[in-house]
Structure 1
Amino acid sequence: MHLPVSFSVWSEEVSHGFYEGLPKVEQESSAELEADVSLDELHTALQSMENGKAPGIDGLPVEFYKTMWSVMGEDLLMVLRDSLTGGQLPLSCRRAVLTLLPKKGDLMEMKNWRPVSLLCTEYKLLSKVLATRLREVMGQVIHRDQTYCVPDRLVSDNVFLIRDFLDISSALGLETGLISIDQEMAFDRVEHQYLWKTLEAFGFSP
Structure 2
Amino acid sequence: MQDALCRPFTSRDVKEALWNIDDDKAPGPDGFSSKFFKASWAIVGEDITKGVLDFFSSSKMLKQIKNTILTMVPTVDCAEEISQFRPIAYWEVNS
Same fold (TM over 0.5): yes
Say whether residues 1:98 and 2:70 are aligned partners: yes
C-alpha displacement of 1:100: 3.5
C-alpha displacement of 1:35: 2.1
Q: What is the match of residue 79 of structure 2?
A: 108
Change (3 A) 1:114 1:91: same
Q: What is the match of residue 61 of structure 2?
A: 89
Greater C-alpha Rg: 1
Distance in 2 (CA, whole Å) between partners of 1:66 and 1:118 is: 24
Distance in 1 (CA, whole Å) between partners of 2:48 and 2:35 is: 15
- In the superposition, the TM-score normalised over structure 2's length comes to 0.63
Distance in 1 (CA, whole Å) between partners of 2:69 and 2:24 is: 17
In structure 1, runs of 5+ residues without a counterpart are: 1-27, 120-206
Distance in 1 (CA, whole Å) between partners of 2:90 and 2:13 is: 23
In structure 2, runs of 5+ residues without a counterpart are: none
Q: What is the match of residue 39 of structure 2?
A: 67
Q: What amino acid does structure 2 have at the position aligned with 1:70?
A: A
Distance in 2 (CA, whole Å) between partners of 1:55 and 1:75 is: 15
Q: What amino acid does structure 2 have at the position aligned with 1:90?
A: L
Aligned length: 90
Q: What is the match of residue 128 of structure 1?
A: none
Partner secondary structure for residue 40 of structure 2: helix
2:29–2:65 CA contact under 8 A, matched in 1: no
1:43 to 15, 18, 21: 15
Higher fraction of strand = 2
Percent identity between the aligned chains?
26
- In the superposition, the TM-score normalised over structure 1's length comes to 0.35
Change (3 A) 1:57 1:107: farther
